[in-house]
Each structure stands twice: as C-alpha cells, then as structure tokens.
Structure 1
C-alpha cells in the first residue's frame, strides 16, 4: 500500500468558483501559465451570471456543471473526464467506488482533481493505508482529510469531480474570440438546468436582483455572498478583456464597458453592510442605492455585449441558434 501527496497544490480562493480550483491544478501542472483571470475569461466562466430570485447563496454555483466545465477544459486545450450525480441515488455506491479509483489514478499521474464538497476543492493526495484523500479548500492552511467512504456525501445532495488527462496546443486568439461568443450566449440564454420560476440568467438576472431588492423578499446572507462573488467575477471580466485586447485590439471598446462594470460592482461591495443592518432607519436608502447601482451595471454590461455582437456578428450568425457549444 502506498501514500501519495501532490506538491505544491494550493487553492487560492478569489471568486469562490470552479475556476479557482481548476487554475490551482492547471497552473501547478504547467498546463496554464497565464494569470487566473485569463483562465476565467478564456473558459467564459467570468461571463456566467445567474441568480436565485430570492438571492440564495447557491446563485453562483447554480448552473449545468457537466456542460460548462467540460467546455471550459476543452476551450483551453485540456482533455478532461468528469462525473456527477445525487448521493441519494441507489447507484451512488457504485459511482463512489469508481470516483475513488479515478481520482487516485489522477493523483498517481501527479495531477490533482476538482471535487465538489459543498464548494469546489482540490484533491491533492491520498493515503491508501488510512483510506483517505487529502484536499485543500482555500480556507485551512493544512491539507484536510476526506475518507474514501465519505466521498460525495455532502451537505448538499450533489457529488461531482473532474480530472485532467492531457494538454493540446491552442491558438490563444481563437480561444479569446470564442470566449466572447460564449459571453453573448450566456447573456441571452437561460440555463436549461434551472427552473425559470426560481432562477434568472444573463440579462434577466439584473431584473431579478432589482425585483428582489425592491420587494424586500430575499435572503440577506445569500445576497451578501452572491454579490461578493459576482464582484470578483466582474473584475475578472474587466481584467481579462483588458489583456485580451493586446491579442485583439478591436476589443478596446469592450474593455471600456467591462472596466466600468467592475467599477460599479466595487461600489456595490461598499454597501453590502446593509444586509447586516436591515432594521436601521437608513437601510432602505442603502437598498435604493444598490438598486440604482445594479441598474447602472445592467446598462454597462448590455453595452459590452452589444459591442461584442458588433465585432462577432458574422461568426455568431453562422452558428444560427446554436452558439453555446453545449
């Protein structure tokens, strides 16, 4: 029996997303050498925008993981395998045993795995003698242990993992152009995995946020988490577009709009304490200001998408109604 630990695999939580975990693995492996915001952009992750209509904290992780994450790996030239399901399904023990073998095999190749453990974490090692995995969640300094038999048994009913197999050469400029086509897709299209009565995506997410804030019908803690995460994501979009224009100068005007969008979300961040003091007299004034800022953000992002549509009008049209690579 053997013990294997992958070094040095660390999870730096910035946008509290799948991208954080994916980047931790690919950068250590030497398969992605650009900054993390470039991975967020090239995989189109920073253009995803979906919210629960009551602003629950699952807003930022409510999307089709299987489709989005496989496309993400494909866009940056990484071959990947993944599996997911519900831990209450009668077949779960079979999938769990397969997942243990699959993740161990990846670690034997000196490659970590992304795992859902009520957030996306990196599995970076295992100990056969003790039958445990080692993982990092970006919070604890030390690696944590997860018994093989507990893999997939989360507080949430979902289990998911992704492992990486090989790297293919990519044309960065073509990937950048494709990522902006995906930005349009995400802006215009509702995720089919999400019931529209409970979630809103893309452009409609802004309307859902404003409606929830106006009605006062929202989860305050969830709103705080959701807006924090999306502020980081919008900053990624701005930084990505700014650097992407060094490959494709025509993105200048798009970069201006995303920079403005990130600035607006910075202002939103400054007012999130309102969700901790909702009983104070001036709380409604703060909520009204948040509503105004989200309306401004909607205008800024709409302008960004319209600029992208102008730049990529022909390739988008050539896809007809199927631009999502799903």
Structure 2
C-alpha cells in the first residue's frame, strides 16, 4: 500500500477553493492557510461521483451559488452571485449585471471568482480595463486578459461569477461547528437535486464509483480527473484534522476530547487518502490508464471499498466532534 506522500499543502486540484483562498487574501481573513480554507468550508470532505461512467464533470455537479454561499458564510462573508451551471450563454443584460458587480468588488480591492475563464475550471478575476473592455483573470491554464464579451462564452458557454459583498465576525468554534455540519450533511444526505440523476454525493458516491467499476463502464479521462480531485480533498481533510488535534485551543474536558476525536478522524481520512493515492497512480491524469481492464478494476474495487469503510468511520467521528460543539 502506498504511503501518504503529500507534504505541500499550498496548492490544490480543487480550483474553486484555490480561488476562494486567493480572494480571502484581500479581506480581513488574509493569512488563512489553504488547509484551513479547505477544512472550514468543508470542501475537504466533498465527493460527487457519476455512477454510470465517473463522468468528468462529477466534481462540479452541485448547486454552485448555494454551495459557495454556504462555504463563505461559514467563514464570515456575505456574497453575491450571477449565473449558474446551465450551458446557456449569458444574455447582454446578464453579462452587464455580472460585470457591474465584478467591477464593484475590484473597486473595493477584492478579486471575484469566475468559472471557465480560460478553461472549464474556477479562477479569479483580479482586474479590469474599461477602455480596452477586458478583465484580468487567472486560472489553471493561464494568467491574462479576457474580453468582457467572452465572460460566460468560453468552452462551457455558461456564466458564473461570485463576489464577496461584506463580512461579519465569526469565531473558530462557530466555524468548526458550521464546517462539521456541512461535512456530515454532505456525507449522509443526497443534496444534488432530482436533475442530477446519476450523481451521488458523500458516502453514496463511493457506491456510485463501485457501481461504475463493477459494470466496467468507467470513462478513463473522467475517472482520472475525479480520482485526482477526491484524493486531493482527502489529503486536506487528514491534514486539517491533524492540525486541529494539535492546535485546537481550550483547556476544558470538552476541548481535550475534541482534540482526541480530531486525531482519530485524521487517521481515518489519511487511510482514505492512501487508497485514493494508489488509485491516482493507477489512473493518472490525463490519459487515465485502463480502469475497465479486469485486474485494474478489481484492484480499484478493493481500494474503493476500503476507502468507503475508512470514511464511514471518519464521518462517525465528525458527528461525535459536532455533538461536543452543539
């Protein structure tokens, strides 16, 4: 079994959280580590998988405005969003509205989050030039200028932007309680809506993944993308919980118990990350290996069942942590 080899937590394959972390550097939460942002937004505990083929868009099959608003509210921010995942290009009025609040945010010195700026992933919009009618944007593909009229008309032809509009005080205990609530809800309840027929979130996502491998209907590229992203989140989950177990302040019995439970949960999520790390090596991005070849599929099924067992145990520990904070 491969070891956890991750020791650099300054980058992530999950680009919405990377973008949110970049935005926070221009707010009162500047200096928050990426580990803390992944943990306190509960993104570290997210998993969504398509049961037919582990389709490439699985990781983004959620209600973006709702989910990102919940994440940022848990960190103490109010937000404004325009657009959503619908594969419909924006109307001129929708584009004008989005540009208006991007500019408002940038005028206050805070970048905005955008989707499909240069590639169908999330990135940051950090500047604009009204004379040239361009935005300055950065995503996983490039850092450069995007003409106003190209916003929402990229590869995915859909508009989605988010800007921070204000902040309110929130303490670490409230943030942890909120994050654990989001994590447990994601693990236990299907939150994707009826239009997301083949997608499953949380613990049920492992069953969906197992189903696709059992049927040998796995898309190599989609599986490679999603394996890398879920492995990445679980590495962050393990690290976030490990840091909580070491650094959580408080001298009460309850605080001591919280640190102990966080340490135990960190071990469970490290076990998940280890299994998914082996899968990531078997099915590397971008070509994805041969997930439907019998030997690889059977090995993947073993790893996924072990990962699900470890995560199920981990979620129970998160629930016990949440009880201490209630």
TM range (shorter): 0.7 to 0.9
TM-score normalized with structure 1 length: 0.85
**1:102 maps to what in 2?**
101
Q: Distance in 1 between matches of 2:302 and 2:274?
A: 14
**1:294 maps to what in 2?**
304
**2:79 maps to what in 1?**
80
Runs of 5+ consecutive residues of structure 2 not aligned to the other structure: 1-9, 249-257
Q: Distance in 1 between matches of 2:201 and 2:302?
A: 19
The match for 1:278 among 272, 277, 290 is 290
Given that 1:40 and 1:46 are in contact with CA atoms closer than 8 Å, whether structure 2 keeps it comes out as: yes
Q: Residue 197 of structure 1 aligns to a residue in which SS?
A: coil
Q: Alignment length, in residue pairs?
A: 300
Pick which of 79-88 and 39-48 moved more: 79-88
Q: Distance in 2 between matches of 1:179 and 1:14?
A: 19
C-alpha deviation, 1:87, in angstroms: 6.3
1:125 maps onto 2:124 in alignment:
no
1:263 maps onto 2:262 in alignment:
no
C-alpha deviation, 1:25, in angstroms: 1.4
Q: 1:29 to 1:57 in 2, by over 3 A?
A: same
**1:3 maps to what in 2?**
none
Q: Distance in 2 between matches of 1:120 and 1:94?
A: 22
Over the aligned positions, Cα root-mean-square deviation in angstroms equals: 2.3
Q: Detail structure 1 runs of 4+ shifted over 6 Å in the superposition.
A: none
Q: Distance in 2 between matches of 1:160 and 1:258?
A: 32
Q: 1:22 to 1:255 in 2, by over 3 A?
A: same
C-alpha deviation, 1:196, in angstroms: 5.4
Q: Distance in 1 between matches of 2:325 and 2:171?
A: 17
TM-score normalized with structure 2 length: 0.85
Given that 1:13 and 1:138 are in contact with CA atoms closer than 8 Å, whether structure 2 keeps it comes out as: no
**2:221 maps to what in 1?**
221
Pick which of 29-38 and 216-225 moved more: 29-38
1:312 maps onto 2:303 in alignment:
no
C-alpha deviation, 1:237, in angstroms: 0.8
Runs of 5+ consecutive residues of structure 1 not aligned to the other structure: 1-11, 317-326
C-alpha deviation, 1:16, in angstroms: 2.8
Q: 1:168 to 1:236 in 2, by over 3 A?
A: same
Q: Distance in 2 between matches of 1:23 and 1:196?
A: 28
